[in-house]
């Protein structure tokens, strides 16, 4: 497919490289090992990639059939405001996932798995770079007082714990998280990018196909190791078990669902021509796809067990948690629902249930502690559900703590 590549203005490019130095130190290793692990693929390019061959007309929304907008000022103000928020949130997720992966990258026990995750991280860096291109190559003053330098600086100042979406504020406990994250959270990314291909803003829509082609590799980085792991678990390997994988799935599935937004909302975004599916519709499709992924993994596990003439215990098979389990966003937020969908009436009993089905290391995290404390306050009537949703840790903004929090201004002032 025909593409054009762009480099953002030098101060912003240098700012991203400054961020990379502090947050993604393993990045140079990719170019050194690319030929060994990805010999048939084009070398990685840190650039914005825009697909030229996309339809000129809007496919959805109130203005379907009309030409796509080329500048933010051509959009309806409400659509432009929503789009700007989407781009900034997308940028946050890309840089945020790199920070998460980096912490446990060296814990991979397989060199190929490590290099595949390293490639995922580099492509996430490119996706963040792509969003910076969209922020800095257009005039957003019609809907925002924030200057491009301030928007980029805000994005590069975020750390794990201060990103826009909760899934990108959880620290990894082990390399299992690197893999499960790719299988579940990057799958949400696939849905978001696919929906955003319908955007009425042409530069944004044209950014999606190249990102989607890379996103397919990210899903494989999650699914392929899991296929090996379920077969190893069938062999009796004590270092990886189905129970370990199930607890990790329980940790991440709810966070993935929350990335779609409130189940009853999103129709306005479709009407504005920014996406082609509302939240609930996209979430249902995601749930179905995740279920099929686990079905495939279970079949592989069963075949491996049968090859050893071993008895298959159905309790060991992977199951998708109930969509209402362990939620803090959306309609099921802070409901005491078990992993199998059964309701709890007692907080202590529910907390014990969480202790039995979530990864042990994760139970000691600030994230789980905050969830339990908030749940207890809600049940005691000390806070409202609205307060509970707003109180989650990811809303905290950590400005100035990151060594590159002022990276944009640092580069600009240094150049001056």
Supply the pLDDT for residue 184.
98
Task: Judge whether residue 336 has pLDDT over 50.
Answer: yes
pLDDT band at 392 (very low <50, low <70, confident <90, very high): low
Average predicted confidence (pLDDT) for the chain = 93
Return the axis-axis angle of helices 77-104 and 10-23, rounded to nearest 10°.
Answer: 40
Distance (Å, whole) CA 338 – CA 353? 7
Supply the pLDDT for residue 138.
96
Task: Judge whether residue 257 has pLDDT over 90.
Answer: yes
Coil, strand or helix at 177:
helix
Whether residue 175 contacts residue 113, with contact meaning beta carbons closer than 8 Å, is answered with yes
Supply the pLDDT for residue 393.
62
Task: Judge whether residue 396 has pLDDT over 60.
Answer: no
Across residues 302-316, what is the average pLDDT? Answer: 94
Handedness of CA 300, 304, 309, 315 (dihedral sign): negative
Domains of the chain, with CATH numbers? 15-415 (1.10.620.20)
Please name the residue that has the structure tokens 């912003």. Answer: 12
Each residue's pLDDT tens digit, 127-162? 999 999 999 999 999 999 999 999 999 999 988 888
Can you read off the two tokens belonging to residue 52?
């030229």
pLDDT band at 407 (very low <50, low <70, confident <90, very high): very low
Each residue's pLDDT tens digit, 35-68? 999 999 999 999 999 999 999 999 999 999 999 9
Strands (E), 26-158: 48-51
Distance (Å, whole) CA 25 – CA 175? 18
CA-CA-CA-CA dihedral for 371, 226, 222, 43, to nearest 10: 150
Each residue's pLDDT tens digit, 7-40? 999 999 999 999 999 999 999 999 999 999 999 9
pLDDT band at 351 (very low <50, low <70, confident <90, very high): very high
Whether residue 226 contacts residue 207, with contact meaning beta carbons closer than 8 Å, is answered with no
pLDDT band at 164 (very low <50, low <70, confident <90, very high): confident
Q: Which residue has the higher pLDDT, 97 or 411?
A: 97
Distance (Å, whole) CA 168 – CA 392? 13
Task: Judge whether residue 405 has pLDDT over 80.
Answer: no
Supply the pLDDT for residue 1.
63
Across residues 159-182, what is the average pLDDT? Answer: 90
Region class of 273: left (phi > 0), else alpha (psi between -120 and 50), else beta: left
Q: How big, in percent rounded to 5, are the helix, strand and coil portions of the chain?
A: 60, 5, 35
Residue closest to 278 by CA, chosen among 267, 263, 262: 267
Each residue's pLDDT tens digit, 197-239? 999 999 999 999 999 999 999 999 999 999 999 999 999 999 9
Range of weakest confidence among 162-166, 286-290, 410-414: 410-414
Across residues 122-126, what is the average pLDDT? Answer: 98
Task: Judge whether residue 404 has pLDDT over 60.
Answer: no
Task: Judge whether residue 172 has pLDDT over 90.
Answer: yes
């Amino acid at each position: 497919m025909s593409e054009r590549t762009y480099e953002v203005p030098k101060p912003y490019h240098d700012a991203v490289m400054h961020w990379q130095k502090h947050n993604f130190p393993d990045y140079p290793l990719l170019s050194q090992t690319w030929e060994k692990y990805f010999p048939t693929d084009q070398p990685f390019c840190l650039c914005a990639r825009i697909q030229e061959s996309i339809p000129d007309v809007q496919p959805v929304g109130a203005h379907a059939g009309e030409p796509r907008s080329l500048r933010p000022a051509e959009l309806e103000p409400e659509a432009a405001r929503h789009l700007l928020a989407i781009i900034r949130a997308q940028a946050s997720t890309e840089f945020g996932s790199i920070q998460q992966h980096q912490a446990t990258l060296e814990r991979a026990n397989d060199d190929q798995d490590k290099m595949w995750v390293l490639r995922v991280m580099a492509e996430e860096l490119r996706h963040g770079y792509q969003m910076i291109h969209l922020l800095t190559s257009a005039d957003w003053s019609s809907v925002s007082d924030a200057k491009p330098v301030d928007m980029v600086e805000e994005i590069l100042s975020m750390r794990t714990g201060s990103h826009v979406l909760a899934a990108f504020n959880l620290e990894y406990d082990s390399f299992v998280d690197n893999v499960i994250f790719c299988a579940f959270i990057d799958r949400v990314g696939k849905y978001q990018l696919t929906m955003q291909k319908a955007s009425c803003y042409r530069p944004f829509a044209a950014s999606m196909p190249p990102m989607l082609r890379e996103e397919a590799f990210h899903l494989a980085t999650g699914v392929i190791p899991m296929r090996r792991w379920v077969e190893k678990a069938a062999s009796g390997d004590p270092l990886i078990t189905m129970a370990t994988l199930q607890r990790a799935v329980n940790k991440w599935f709810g966070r993935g669902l929350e990335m779609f937004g409130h189940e009853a909302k999103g129709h306005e975004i479709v009407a504005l021509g920014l996406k082609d599916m509302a939240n609930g519709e996209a979430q249902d499709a995601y749930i179905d796809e995740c279920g099929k992924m686990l079905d495939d993994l279970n079949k592989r596990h069963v075949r491996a067990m049968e090859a050893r003439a071993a008895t298959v215990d159905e309790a060991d098979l992977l199951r998708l948690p109930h969509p209402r389990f362990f939620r803090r966003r959306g309609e099921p937020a802070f409901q005491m629902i078990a992993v199998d969908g059964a309701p709890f009436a007692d907080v202590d009993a529910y907390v014990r249930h969480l202790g039995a089905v979530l990864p042990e290391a994760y139970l000691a995290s600030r994230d789980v502690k905050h969830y339990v404390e908030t749940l207890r306050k809600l049940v005691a009537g000390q806070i409202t559900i609205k307060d509970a949703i707003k109180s989650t840790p990811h809303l905290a903004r950590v400005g100035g703590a990151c060594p590159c929090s002022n990276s944009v201004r640092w580069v600009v002032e240094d150049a001056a």
